[in-house]
Structure 1
Amino acid sequence: MGFLLSKLGWQSDSNSSDKDKSAPDQPEKKVYSWDLRSKEDEEKLKFSDKEEETLFKVPGDINGKPFNLVNLKSCRVYLLDNLATINVDKCSNCGIFIGPTNQSVFIRDSNECNFIVSCQQFRMRGCSKVNVLLHCTSQPIIESSTRIKFGCFQFYYEALPSQLKSANLSPFLNYWSNIYDFSPNSDTSNPNHGYLTEAKVSECVGLFDLSQIEPATLQGGVDVAPLKIDVHKSAIPKTNKQLDKSAAKSEKVTLLVVLPFAERRDLLQQLMEKVIKPEEDSSTVQLSQSVESTAMTQEELDRLLNIPALALNANNDSAGDSKQSQVNFGNKINDKGKVIGLLFDGEDSESVIMSAVAENDVLKRNSLVSRGQIASAQFEQLQNYMQMQFH
């Protein structure tokens, strides 16, 4: 009877249970973050196929997620939030601001655009006639692109400083001028990239000025007043393009090193406001370069910056020459802290900086000032040390 029932497809409960127990467990299907995105979420994280519009994402709209810009024509775009990554594809005649991006900005197949960008990595491919005001904490790369012009980042809105901190982007670390071209022009007199003049930088920044735009014309009816956008200020210190070797040897170069200042950027801002006065045509001091390293102790900093003057003195002057001197302020610091190095340029840079530092007790206790070839060599040491931490 049992044989007959089994032939007809019937089994006892006990047999069925045994079979279930012996069956191997099926592995659970992996679920990725992008699988959880709804179609609505995907639409919120891109602008595509737009023409002659002013498009906004305000703080909190993107919230550190990836974003895409695709096929935009004659648009003005403001992404005023943290991003993870962003791809910009097939855009033309646009002005695009890209807020602090924790990873990469990739611009492809775009022409006649102006960008203001803050990011960890910058990549560009297949573009032409593009201007970029850039803050990038690694070496920017272009490929198969022509007539690309770069300048230092300039832009401000109230949330930007805190967004930079959230994205782990130091305002004092900016390789905007250290461009690597994967496909350089064989005609070295006509390189694929160059640098914007001061007049062109001002012109580029002016394209993002919202003061002349009627609020009703903004995408989504965004009220821009609470954002406190100011194109005439910048959350990133303005620096010059990298010094060439001859300029780096100039006695006009002065270095100020401060430790630790990760949480006291307000003091550095006050210092720079005293030292650099752009409204005065006669101002002779400019911030040339800046760098921020990972945390180190005062002892480690002293060892790193111990540059023998004789080894650097191309004119065989005495090692004690005041032009090669360095001055230590205050007491040693035992705690670790991030080191910020500011390289200034100008005839009066040493006296102006020394005077500004002397007015602030915190700076007096935690800074070092050096000049000339020693300053240039110490700044290079700081840069090399920082780069080694990321390789």
Structure 2
Amino acid sequence: MNVAFERPSILQRILPVFTGFDGPLSLAILLLAAAGMLTMYSAGFDHGTRFVDHGRNMLIGLAVLFVVAQIPPQRLMRLAVPLYVLGVILLLAVEFFGITKKGATRWLNVGIVIQPSEMLKIAVPLTLAWWFQRREGQLRTPDFIAAALLLAIPVGLIMKQPDLGTAILVASAGLFVIFFAGLSWKLIIPIMITGAVAITALVMSGDAICEPDVKWPVLRDYQKQRVCTLLDPTKDPLGKGFHTLQGMIAIGSGGIEGKGFMKGTQTHLEFIPERTTDFIFAAFSEEFGLIGCGLLLLGFVFLIFRGLMIAAEAPTVFSRLLAGAITLSFFTYAFVNMGMVSGILPVVGVPLPFISYGGTAMVTLGLGLGILMSISKSRRLVQT
């Protein structure tokens, strides 16, 4: 008996590509993207083509998100080790053949100039999630030690460039995976206590250890200066402390309601350095005040909460660990950027997601959000 099968139309074949996206996560992205475009228009309308370029970068990030969302988590898992190995090889290549700018060797010319450390922001959590997926049901202390070594290699190479900001982001993403995999609190609590004691000792002895002739182990001189500037930015108000002081002035001058859209004097009189990139939160705070900052924080909380919900409902260990780590990476971005602009953390090159200008950062953001969308889609397919 001959049975005729009706071939699906082009529309029927294309439609699934545009369906299945997580509604709440899409809403959070839309709201934060709108806030980013609004802020960039005010902070960057007189800064060349920053506003137009920011919109272009957002479209590129959206395209990356859309493409990555179509890739099932199982295929993403197969890419983990190759991406990690390629990233480490490129970091080693930077060490020997890298391009140096402003005293830092972070870039590599492979026909186009790239910054390999950006790849590790995604490759490291991917690889660690893959590792713990393989060890599911038989985790032992050596497995956590192996994971720590997988994390330490790229973080060490990135710090050597030096690039403390990116090293913090890569390290935090990896540590989130290790934590979610079941790292014992017996190991976490002593580290937290040690860190608290070290910070307290640093604050109490700041004047003595910040003398010019005192050398700090591990950290370079410019990193020592950043920490010392954090402790007392007024010691060099026109030099190392200028960024921090101007950021704090702009945030404080915004008050409760802010000065109004495009009315920020600190911003438009160019007192805020890097007002479209690392210090754009200061420009936002000046114009929109405490109320605007509260709404922006709510937007990030909404995004992070939804990401953690996706992680909690993910069907596999790999997807749960990956979704949780990527979601909390957004928290790290926001916390470190707002903290350094507010004067509670040292100044490091960490952008504010959606808000800060930067093509590479926007692509990385699109990759992370695309992975979350992919995991959310896979969960729905399993349920159906």
User: Which TM class, normalised by the smaller chain length?
Assistant: under 0.3
Give the TM-score, by structure 1 length.
0.22
Give the TM-score, by structure 2 length.
0.22
Higher-Rg member (1/2): 1
- Relative to its length, the structure with more helix (as a share) is 2
Tell me which of the two structures has the higher relative contact order, counting C-alpha pairs closer than 8 angstroms and 6 or more residues apart. 2
- Relative to its length, the structure with more strand (as a share) is 1
